[in-house]
Amino acid sequence: MTVEKEQALLLLEKGVKQISEEERIVEKQTGGANHETEATIHELEGVKFEHDSQNLYKLQYNHMLNRMKKDLISLQLKSNDLTESLHSKNQIDKEESNKQRLAKEQKL
């Protein structure tokens, strides 16, 4: 039995060598498809990395844009409040100036 097993093992080894030889021949004929596949996979990884980087940049950009919009609204509200306050104080100033002018005129 061991002789039979050794012969079977030798046949398998010959078969593996033959298949390896055929694979190498086919690779040469097809232009090294494995190298092209590996290059394509490497290129895909690069594209995925670039895509992820751009998505991160997009998220950062959108976050900054939203923050700037909120800041703009806040500053517009503050500007409106200050404008109203200025108008109110100008009105009070005019009224007080008129009172002082009338008081001076009455004294004269």
Residue 99 phi, psi (nearest 5): -60, -45
Q: Is residue 96 part of a domain?
A: yes
Separation between Cα atoms, residue 93 and residue 87, nearest integer Å: 10
Q: Is residue 66 part of a domain?
A: yes
Q: What is the mean pLDDT of residues 5-27?
A: 84
Q: What is the pLDDT of residue 1?
A: 66
Q: Is residue 33 part of a domain?
A: no
Q: Is residue 77 part of a domain?
A: yes
Q: Is residue 71 part of a domain?
A: yes
Percent of the chain with pLDDT over 70: 94
Complete DSSP assignment for 30-46: TT-HHHHHHHHHHHHHH
Q: Which domain holds residue 70?
A: 49-107
Q: Is residue 15 part of a domain?
A: no
Query: What's this model's pTM, rounded to 2 decimal places?
Result: 0.52
Q: What is the pLDDT of residues 17-50, one digit of tens each?
A: 888 888 878 777 766 566 777 788 889 999 999 9
